[in-house]
Amino acid sequence: MISEEFRLEEQEGETSQQLNTLPPEKVNKLIKRSIRNARFSLAAYVIMILLLIYPFMTVVSYVYYGFNQKAEDLIQVAIQTVYVTEPNVSLEEMEIEREFGLFTFNVYMDLYKRIGKSDSKLGDWDVEYRFSEAEFPKRNYLTENPPKEIPFHDTKKLYHPKAIRDNPELNNWKTLEKLPEGTVAEVYVSLNELMKTEDVEKVTDEVDVEWRWYAIDTGLEAKGESLEGGFLTPIGYPAQPDPDGWSPYNSREPNEEQFMESLYFLQKYEQQAIDIAHAKWLDLDHRISYIEENGLHSYGGVMTGPTKEILKLKDNPAVRTIYIGEVRLWNW
């Protein structure tokens, strides 16, 4: 044992003597080569570890989003937020895509609007979740006048019967009169009083138009402000049932029942819904309680049809004001 240690010390001494006898530039080269080799070995170990960790983390991400149908719930949050907060906007199942990353989850949706008898593509949204928290969506619109990311009072299109109009001088009826005969329009209609949705339909009994979305009174619309005092986006539901079974407003149940189911569902994911919607507040606890106590009443909504047919509502005592949305050539 002593002789072995003596030999090692002797070899180290010889190596040290050899280095001392080498020229300085050669010693520097040897040292640099040793450092490069050490760095290369370290980088190789790191890459190997990452290559082993990445598949493992990917599997963990799939398990995270797959557990208890988390991914399906997050998809539904995006879908139902659109139907509840975006008037006259619908989705197509085949145009909804999903993509998984490392603890990220993206939902891609194409949005459509009904103008006349045709659905026109409005644009697309990319909703990204980091873990379960929603990021502000990336929105791409095809329309010339896309909605503001966060709307304010000056962009208001629907008015509660007790709400003060921000632009009383704006006369959309005159604009509607100037539109040519062969056109169809999307129009936001505000009523003079609150009505049950079946009574809203009666307002247009003698006019060849179609209601597309009902705005619902939740006790906050008269002021148009959230409980914290900020601008509150309207909420409502589609006026027409969707024949597609996947839709949250399919024909299996009345739309008003499915609307309440949507609110109860979004109540559990309210922050995600706020992050996705054109809103800073939704106040779902208050709004749900108000509807449960007072029932469903509409103060207006969105309709579409021939411009000259819509113009017949000008003297209808139930109609307070209108706002013209999109206009297209005849397709009725």
pLDDT in the model for residue 102: 85
φ, ψ dihedrals at 29, nearest 5°: -60, -40
Single-letter code of the amino acid located at 321: T
pLDDT in the model for residue 6: 44
φ, ψ dihedrals at 170, nearest 5°: -75, 120
pLDDT in the model for residue 2: 46
| 191, β-bridge pairs | 319
Containing 94, the helix (H) or strand (E) segment is strand 89-100
**Cβ burial 201-238 (10 Å sphere, 16+ → b, else e):** eebbeebebbbbbbbbbbebbeebebeeeebbbbbbbb
pLDDT in the model for residue 50: 62
Kindly report, residue by residue over 290-311, the tens digit of the pLDDT. 999 999 999 999 999 999 999 9
pLDDT in the model for residue 264: 98
The encoded tokens of residue 155 equal 């962009």
Query: How far is the CA of 204 from the CAs of 35, 115, 157, 199, 299, in angstroms?
Result: 83, 17, 19, 10, 14
Indicate if the alpha-carbon torsion angle 129, 130, 134, 136 is positive or negative: negative
Query: How far is the CA of 296 from the CAs of 57, 87, 196, 249, in angstroms?
Result: 47, 17, 6, 16
Q: Is the distance from CB of 214 to CB of 241 less than 8 angstroms?
A: no
Domain residue spans in the chain?
Answer: 144-329
**pLDDT below 50 — which residues of the chain?**
1-2, 6, 8-10, 12
Kindly report, residue by residue over 212-229, the tens digit of the pLDDT. 999 999 999 999 899 998
| 4, β-bridge pairs | none
| Integer Cα distance of 326 and 144 in angstroms | 10
